[in-house]
Structure 1
Amino acid sequence: MGYGFGRADVAFLTGAAGSAALAEVDRLELTPATHLRDLERVRRDHGGYAPALIETVRLRRKAAAKLSGADEWLFTDDALQQATPSPVARARARRLAGRAVHDVTCSIGAELAELARVCPAVIGSDLDDVRLSMAAHNLSRASTRSALPRNLLVAQADALVPVSRETVVIADPARRADGRRTHDPAKLQPPLPDLLAAYSGRDIAVKCAPGLDFDTLDWTGEVEVVSLDGAVREACLWSPGLAEPGVTRRATVLSTNGDPLILTDAEPDDIPVRAPGEWIVDPDGAIVRAGLVRHYAAKHGLWQLDPQIAYLTGDQVPAGLRGFRILDRLELREKSLRQELARRDCGALEILVRGVDIDPDALRKRLKLRGAQTFTLILTRIGRAGTAFLCTAHRAR
């Protein structure tokens, strides 16, 4: 759960004494091995503020890989866990450029910092006054670094009670109920059905967990699934007024080192039915979760190994993507696999699985690999038959 910050903690941390103390604490290791020694030292120097200081430095270090400029921000543990990664927030902000926006669950302000760069007016509100105080500080630090426009207002308000008009509404309901992560829309905080009812008829974008069952929502707008560097991060529900005409599903594949890939269900999905080609391609998780595997295949001249399985195959790999060159197609029997891998002097084996109930780690141990070569084993099914493909992995240029 992390340390429970209070308003007094935020007031101290944002003052001159707190800033100096944070700089001191940041020079400590703060590892499990040094925890007791570091805590004793910080308590000796800063008394009751020691837990807030240590937690803030710990969270800043954790946030460095997720948020731009986070080394001067304030967080709670829960708020950082749910904060939108900066590249994802930036991509959403680009879709809303030029619109006035109200983030009704703004928390510590990660989304606001990106919206303020491209939107003429931005409001952030939340019920948690500690997080609002943190958001005000974080936005001031973001503005100092990159001169954010003076178009920001942060205020305390209930997300289920509209307090703005003629703004696009953004919401990010908390995904934990009773201390556990939930995929039930009615158990989000605030509950998703209540949130949508409160802003009925308004332009709204709602962040959700990618594991949410979209088909149970009766959603008439667009569902966007977003990944970053290969990991699926979120789904976003876009109301009809914000959706692209004719689009109900979108996959946005972001990379910190490259251009985004955007795919929608308005694109063609006609693909041939053929035997496996030279390569197997495993599409990004956002494409799979958005139900756009066939659309991706059609875009890149690929086809499916099986109509119900997300693995694609073809005679080339899309540029920049990792593909698997098929060396052999084998029976999905452990004895046969063990013999073939031993014959090929396999010692390191990546195992990918779709459509069959096999634990890759357990299987790898049972195969007793002792060789010097590296391979990838793809386990799947074609029709009702389990199939194994022995491959080597390559990244297309």
Structure 2
Amino acid sequence: MAYGFTLDDVAFLRSAAGRAALAGCAELDASRVADVAAARRAVGERHAAAVLETVALRRKSVAKIVDSGEWLFTSDALQQASATPVARHRARRLAGLAVHDVTCSVGADLVELSRAAPAVLGSDVDPVRLEMAQHNASVAGVAPLVSRADALRPVSRDAAVVADPARRDSAGRRVWRPADFLPPLDELVTAYPGRVLSVKCAPGMDFAIAPWAEEVELVSLDGQVREACLWRGLSTGVTRRATVLRSDGAQWTLTDAEPDEVPAKAAGEWLVDPDGAVVRAGLVRHYAARHGLWQLDERIAYLTGDAPPPGVRAFRVLEQLPYREKPLGAVLRRLGVGRLEILVRGLDVDPDALRRRLKPRGHEESTVVLTRIGRSPVAFVCRSERIPSEGFQPGSPGVGSAGSE
């Protein structure tokens, strides 16, 4: 059970005594009885739990929030917070506009918006998270206005609206119906007519149930799809966008305004599994057209070609055969494969169970790609290679990282 912070906890953690307690307990672990006892002796019973929880959350935050060493979090807020590169990307798209983050929580988006927008307001119904947001903004060197307010009762005029509705119920279970979001999605949209609107949602959401969204953007970071963002009012001229980010600052974007005329034909020298943001945005054909690739099958997201895009992990085809376990096992034994990765799309195959049955025992490493062409299951035995990002510049629209979905 996650610790429930109070305003008294936050006040202590922000004080000189709290900062000293956090520094003194930075190496302790709340899962160890001796460490809990040590924290109670050093801090006192009243605030020991808050200190230990904050120490643990700061450790977790390092993988998500840049320079978060002095931030304050609740467990739920950290879990839902946008990773810094994702929040920074959203802020860049709103640069130059006044912005109101109506569900600002502990400030992960608020901080990045404050660095890009001329005027920023953050609001939330939770007073504890608001106090944490003010602290985190101060630590980050920005000073947005912060106000306690219900997202469904606007306290700003004309500003672009950023929202990240909670997608878990009171028991912590994930909810998928927009009517069950907090605040409910349709009510949120209705509350801000005529405004530029940016709403963060789960990537697996059925976007057809948000007809007001003029653009759906899927965002991945370091090969993992992190979020979908529903946009209204930016007049971009596109309806679907995939944005691929890397922690080193590199990024590229693909939209449905680009060409998508590509054939489906026999495999070339390479197979390419487009980044998950591209797949979920429905832009596989656009990606293929940009990079001179083609499809194996019109209904399957694997692409193929004679030269893979720069900066991706691609699969050089060594063998292609109809998928049956015995012939596939014979090929792997002939190639001396012992370390085996199995990727599957379009077939009902459990990779782990298949690997156990194949019993690879050699010294070579290989990737088997299982898919179908038409109605026929096919196996490709490949060598995985990371293609260099030659000439790559951060922010370049044409190249970047594409990981397996």
Write the distance in 1 (CA, Å) between the matches of 2:195 and 2:36: 49
Matched, 1:43 2:40: yes
Which residue of 1 is the match for residue 159 of structure 2? 167
2:148 corresponds, among 151, 156, 164, to 156
Q: CA deviation at 1:346?
A: 1.0
Which residue is equivalent to 1:382? 373
Partner of 1:229: 222
2:399 alignment partner in structure 1: none
Contact 2:30 / 2:36 at 8 angstroms: preserved in 1?
A: no
What amino acid is aligned across from residue 141 of structure 1 in structure 2? Answer: V
The answer as to 2:76 corresponding to 1:52 is: no
Identity of paired residues, percent? 61
Q: Which moved more, 1:85-94 or 1:183-192?
A: 183-192
Measured after TM superposition, the shift of residue 48 of structure 1 is: 2.0
| Separation (CA, whole Å) in 1 of partners of 2:66 and 2:313 | 28
CA distance in 2 between counterparts of 1:229 and 1:131 reads 28
How many angstroms does 1:299 deviate by?
0.2
Distance 2:167 2:46 in 1: 32
Deviation of 1:210 after TM superposition, in Å, equals 0.4
> Which portions of structure 1, spanning 4 or more consecutive aligned residues, are displaced by more than 6 angstroms?
none
The residue number in structure 2 matching 1:184 is 177
Paired position in structure 1 for 2:332: 341
Q: Check 1:243–1:366 CA distance in 2 against 1; reply closer, same or farther (3 A cut).
A: farther
What is the CA–CA distance in structure 2 between the aligned matches of 1:324 and 1:172, rounded to whole Å? Answer: 37
- Name structure 2 gaps, 5 residues minimum: 389-405
User: Equivalences for 1:12-51 in 2 at 5 Å?
Assistant: 12-28=12-28, 30=29, 32=31, 35-46=32-43, 47-51=45-49
Q: TM-score, normalised by structure 2?
A: 0.93
Quote the Cα distance in structure 1 between the aligned partners of 2:6 and 2:213.
41
Instruction: Provide the C-alpha distance between the structure 2 equivalents of 1:338 and 1:328, rounded to a whole number of angstroms.
Output: 12
Which residue in 2 is equivalent to 1:107? 105
Q: Give the secondary-structure state (helix, strand or coil) at the position aligned to 2:367.
A: strand
Quote the Cα distance in structure 2 between the aligned partners of 1:57 and 1:100. 34
Distance 1:222 1:169 in 2: 15
Superposed CA deviations along residues 223-273 of structure 1, whole A, max 9, x for unmatched, are: 00000000000000000x21412x000000001125211000001001123
Give a deviation string over 1:3-42, Cα, whole Å, max 9, x none: 00001100100000000000000033x274xx11100111
What is residue 351 of structure 1 aligned with on the other side?
342
Cα displacement string for residues 347-397 of structure 1 (whole angstroms, at most 9, x for unaligned residues): 000111100011111111111111111000000000011110000011112
- Find the counterpart in structure 2 of residue 219 from structure 1: 212
The Cα of 1:220 is off from its aligned counterpart by: 4.3
Query: Residues of 2 paired with 1:154 and 1:107: CA distance?
Result: 11
Query: 1:310 and 2:301 equivalent?
Result: yes
Partner AA of 1:14 in structure 2? R
Match of 2:392 in 1: none
Worse overlay, 161-170 or 218-227: 218-227
- How many pairs were matched up? 386
Pairing partner for 2:234 from 218, 238, 242: 242
Amino acid at match of 1:109: G
Partner of 1:64: 62
Q: Residue type of the partner of 1:51? A: A
| 1:204 counterpart = 2:197 | yes
Q: C-alpha distance in 2, partners of 1:168/1:194?
A: 17
Give the Cα–Cα distance (whole angstroms) in 1 for the partners of residues 224 and 254 of structure 2.
16
The amino acid that maps onto 2:320 is: R
CA distance in 2, matches of 1:7, 1:74: 12
Q: What's the secondary structure of 2:24's corresponding residue?
A: helix
Shift of 1:184: 1.4
Pick 1 or 2: higher relative contact order, CA cutoff 8 A, min separation 6.
Answer: 2
Residue 334 of structure 1: how far off its partner (Å): 1.3
Q: Any idea what the Cα deviations from partners look like across 1:173-213, whole Å, max 9, x if unmatched? A: 00112421122111111111111111122211000000101
Query: Normalization by structure 1: what TM-score?
Result: 0.95
- Alignment match, 2:124: 126
More displaced, 225-234 or 180-189? 180-189
Q: 1: CA distance between counterparts of 2:13 and 2:152? A: 31
SS at match of 1:108: coil
Cα distance in 1 for partners of 2:352, 2:193 equals 48
Distance 2:316 2:108 in 1: 41
User: Which position in structure 2 is the counterpart of 1:73?
Assistant: 71
Gaps of 5+ in 1: none
Name the SS for the 1:91 alignment partner.
helix
